[in-house]
Amino acid sequence: MWPALLLCQLATLHLSQSFSHVCISHPTFREPVNTDIDVLCGTERVELQILLCPVYYNEYNESLMALNAQHFKEECKGTPDWTADPPVLKFNFSIREEAIAACLNKLMITQEVGTGLFSDFSHVQFINISGMINSLDTDTGTITYRKEMTYKFSCRYPLQYLVNSTEMSTSGTKITIKDNNGSFISTLSMQLYADSSYTSMLQIPAGGLQLKTRIFVQVKATNLTNRFNVLLDRCYATTTPFPVNSAYYDLFVGCNRDGQTVIGVNGLQQEARFSFEAFRFIQHQNRTLSTFFLHCATRLCEHTFCSSLVQNCTTHINYNSNTRRRRSADGAQSTTVSSMATVSSGPINTRVDNGYPVESEVAQQTRSSGTLLGIAVVAGIIGAICITLVACIAYLIYNSSEAFNKSALYQQE
């Protein structure tokens, strides 16, 4: 196998030499530095790229670089891009377990204690995908004058939805470490349904939903390995699309839920389901429609761990929304979790009447204006009649006074 590998490398080296002149005059034709590697932790793939000219500077080429020293596997080698400035060598692999293992990359799940925004849920899990890009020294003698080139990388994915880059180099062996953080938030979606079979999408009429209409909610993950399930930690409604400084109402937090919320599936599959009855916020009592937005703080967890979290949530529990039960985590290590991401719905409108047809606010304003106009017209007519009566009475009094004066003058004569 070694002779075949050397022949392949010699052929690739011959092809690469036609591009080597690009590096000789390029500013990156130098010793490697820690910024020579870029890592993109995607929701489906990990994408890496290293600068090519430092590789040539150390008397290697793209055929002599591979993931985790797997130089015999073509899928573990990179693809050179000489059109880029500077030229780069690109690697990428799927984050599915079989693809991660194919080139001996490592996948590790850690469990820590949540603090800050996650203080209500002490178990917080992370996925760490790590590996390296190694050079292959083809010298067959006892010694070599070429430095071994090693680019280490890792991707850290928080499974609770809500790393700092570390770099190191040593003399003799050139090691570049790049840690990056990724997110699975784009794989999550929320849908509202009108039926318990989750087949009919909920259509909210212009006049809003009637109060106590049952709404079925599904939060689903896509493009993920079956090793992970979806777990909803908290779902709540707010009066604005953004929950900051907004009135809110908790439908459930962990095992605690309100009396009208029914948990269907949570933490057992790659979709979580629950339902609740349409309500209105009291602060909307003077409005025709009460509008609110639904949010779910979501995490992905390894399926055996998810089941341990939900096994005690089978009993219906009423609760005060200000009281939340903390899950225990004996022996877990602490960590600081910086932020949380949620999946949210669009606006949900409910009617404030008892089922009779409702008017829009414009119609209400028009009707109110028409009523005021009618009152003004009636008041005007009544005013005119009163003025006319007063004038008639005054006229009669004036005529009676004139007749009396004339009669008195005639008698004097």
Note the pLDDT tens digit of each residue in 113-156: 655 545 555 567 788 899 999 999 888 777 778 888 999 999 98
SS (H, E, C) 207-275: CCECCCCEEEEEEEECCCCCCEEEEEEEEEEECCCCCCCCCEEEEEECCEECCCCEEEECCCCCEEEEE
Residue that wins the pLDDT comparison between 183 and 190: 190
- Across the range 37-50, mean pLDDT stands at 91
* 353-386 exposure pattern, b = at least 16 Cβ within 10 A, e = fewer: eeeeebeeeeeeeeeeeeeeeeeeeeeeeeeeee
Confidence bin at 307 (pLDDT 50/70/90)? confident
- Burial zone of 395 (CB within 10 Å; 0-12 exposed, 13-18 middle, 19+ buried): exposed
* pLDDT single digits (tens) 319-352: 343 334 333 333 333 222 223 346 777 788 877 6
The residue type found at 356 is Y
From 251, 273, 295, select the one nearest 199 (Cα to Cα): 273
* 186-357: CATH architecture: Sandwich (2.60)
- How big, in percent rounded to 5, are the helix, strand and coil portions of the chain? 25, 35, 40
- Across the range 291-314, mean pLDDT stands at 77
**Contact status, residue 277 vs residue 212, Cβ threshold 8 Å:** yes
Residue 202 has pLDDT above 80, yes or no: yes
Q: Judge if 2-6+20-183 and 186-357 fold alike in CATH terms.
A: yes
Residue 317 has pLDDT above 50, yes or no: no
**Ramachandran area for residue 373 (φ above 0: left; ψ -120 to 50: alpha; else beta):** alpha
As given in the structure block, the two tokens for residue 138 are 């083809």
Q: What is the dihedral of CA 253, 259, 260, 263, to 10 degrees?
A: 50
User: What pLDDT, on a 0 to 100 scale, did the predictor assign at position 146?
Assistant: 83
Q: Which of 179-183, 295-299, 361-365 has the lowest mean pLDDT?
A: 361-365
The residue type found at 370 is G
Cα distances (Å, whole numbers) of residue 306 to 228, 268, 302: 9, 7, 6
Cα distances (Å, whole numbers) of residue 396 to 171, 181, 382, 385, 387: 122, 98, 21, 17, 14
Question: Residue 27: phi, psi to the nearest 5?
Answer: -60, -25
User: What pLDDT, on a 0 to 100 scale, did the predictor assign at position 122?
Assistant: 58
Tally of CB atoms within 10 A around 270 = 18
The winner for highest mean pLDDT among 225-234, 306-315, 403-412 is: 225-234
Confidence bin at 50 (pLDDT 50/70/90)? very high
User: What pLDDT, on a 0 to 100 scale, did the predictor assign at position 224?
Assistant: 74
- Across the range 390-402, mean pLDDT stands at 64
Residue 269 has pLDDT above 80, yes or no: yes
* 2-6+20-183: CATH architecture: Sandwich (2.60)
Q: What average pLDDT does the structure give for the chain?
A: 74
* 86-122 exposure pattern, b = at least 16 Cβ within 10 A, e = fewer: bbbbbbebebbeebbebbebebeeebbbbeeebeebb
Domain ranges of the chain: 2-6+20-183, 186-357
Confidence bin at 258 (pLDDT 50/70/90)? confident
User: What pLDDT, on a 0 to 100 scale, did the predictor assign at position 110?
Assistant: 82
* pLDDT single digits (tens) 67-109: 999 999 999 999 999 999 999 999 999 888 888 899 999 988 8
Cis peptide preceding 347, ω within 30 of 0: no
User: What pLDDT, on a 0 to 100 scale, did the predictor assign at position 302?
Assistant: 80
| Paired sense of beta strands 256-257 and 248-253, if any | antiparallel
**Contact status, residue 271 vs residue 220, Cβ threshold 8 Å:** yes
Percent of the chain residues topping a pLDDT of 90: 25
3 state DSSP class of 323 = coil
User: What pLDDT, on a 0 to 100 scale, did the predictor assign at position 179?
Assistant: 62
- Across the range 193-218, mean pLDDT stands at 91
The winner for highest mean pLDDT among 94-98, 241-245, 389-393 is: 94-98
* Residues facing residue 228 across a β-bridge: 302
Confidence bin at 248 (pLDDT 50/70/90)? confident
